[in-house]
């Protein structure tokens, strides 16, 4: 497993980090976001979507009440929010398996609420708020090729490592 740790010092930097990560993702990737309320998961998701070619980040909103949003980018992008789902919810009932098996990238906020349902090769990103504007990000993946692409894409943020 490869782990990458970064520090973001602003919302704009969190979005830029997300953009860089998104640019490294390929169809079939699942990004599992975890962190407390207010940690910046949706801000990062906006950046991920931008890096995946979604033109209007105003359209990228946390799908807390609708569960799934879909965006058009260089591949389809599914954005899920599991916050309001019971921890025992069956993600198959909302088509999660089909989303993961298709030519899309799937971004899952509150993925830790259904960690057993996440694919084994999901990119996990844990976010922690250390103060009003500073966020710690820990990326973990078992996919060596993805890890290499992420390290190249995130080279500009190397000075933000803890």
Band (pLDDT 50/70/90 cuts) for residue 89 is: low
Per-residue pLDDT band at 70 (split at 50, 70, 90): very high
Q: How many structural domains comprise the chain?
A: 1
Q: What is the pTM of this model?
A: 0.92
In this model, does residue 31 exceed pLDDT 90? yes
The CATH number that applies at residue 60 is: 3.40.50.300
Q: Which element (helix H / strand E) includes 60? A: none
Q: Counting beta carbons within 10 angstroms of the beta carbon of residue 53, is it exposed (0 to 12), middle (13 to 18) or buried (19 or more)?
A: middle
For 98-127, write each residue's pLDDT tens digit. Answer: 999 989 999 999 999 899 899 999 999 999
Domain ranges, residue 31: 2-160
Distances (CA, A) of 13 to 68, 73, 135, 143, 148: 25, 21, 10, 25, 21
């Amino acid at each position: 497993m490869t782990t990458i740790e970064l520090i973001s010092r602003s919302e704009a930097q969190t979005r830029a980090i997300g953009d860089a990560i998104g640019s490294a993702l390929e169809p079939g990737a699942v990004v599992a976001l975890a962190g407390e309320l207010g940690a910046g998961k949706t801000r990062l998701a906006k950046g991920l979507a931008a890096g995946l070619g979604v033109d209007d980040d105003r359209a990228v909103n946390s799908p807390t009440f609708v569960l799934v949003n879909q965006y058009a980018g260089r591949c389809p992008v599914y954005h899920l929010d599991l916050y309001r789902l019971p921890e025992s919810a069956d993600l198959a009932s909302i088509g999660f398996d089909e989303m993961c098996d298709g030519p899309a990238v799937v971004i899952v906020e509150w993925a830790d609420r259904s960690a057993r349902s996440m694919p084994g090769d999901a990119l996990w990103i844990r976010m922690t708020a250390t103060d009003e504007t500073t966020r710690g990000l820990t990326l973990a993946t078992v996919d060596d090729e993805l890890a290499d692409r992420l390290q190249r894409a995130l080279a500009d943020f190397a000075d933000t490592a803890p």
